[in-house]
Amino acid sequence: MSMQIPGVITPVTDAQDTTGTARKLQREKDLEKACQGFEALMLNTLMQRMRDTLSGDSLFPESNASDIYQSLHDQYLTENLSQGRRVTGFKEFLYQQLQDSV
């Protein structure tokens, strides 16, 4: 028969709490990363749609290589933009909305 002393936490409870806290922190970190990825995807889509409105580049002729390069450049740019703080606020908004579900 174990005796419970008020205000004293048993080692088993501490280990369980640490594991639960570590899991919650990992889920929050994963959610933050997912929100950042979603913001990058939204920015990339926005960038593509903006480029679609342009009539073309008069300096260089259009080719598959230039399209691939421009697409990779846009992807790199939008991923870096999404890693910044408060670029659009979309990442923070999503995180706040989904935080309670973690």
pLDDT in tens, 31-45: 999 999 999 999 999
Listed by start position, the domains of the chain span 36-101
- Reported confidence tier of residue 18, pLDDT bands at 50, 70, 90: confident
pLDDT at position 14 over 80: no
For residue range 67-90, what is the model confidence (pLDDT) as tens digits? 899 899 999 999 998 888 777 888
Residue 96: count of CB within 10 angstroms of its CB: 10
Element (H, E) at 96: helix 90-98
CB 66 within 8 A of CB 60: yes
Residue 3 vs residue 65, higher pLDDT:
65
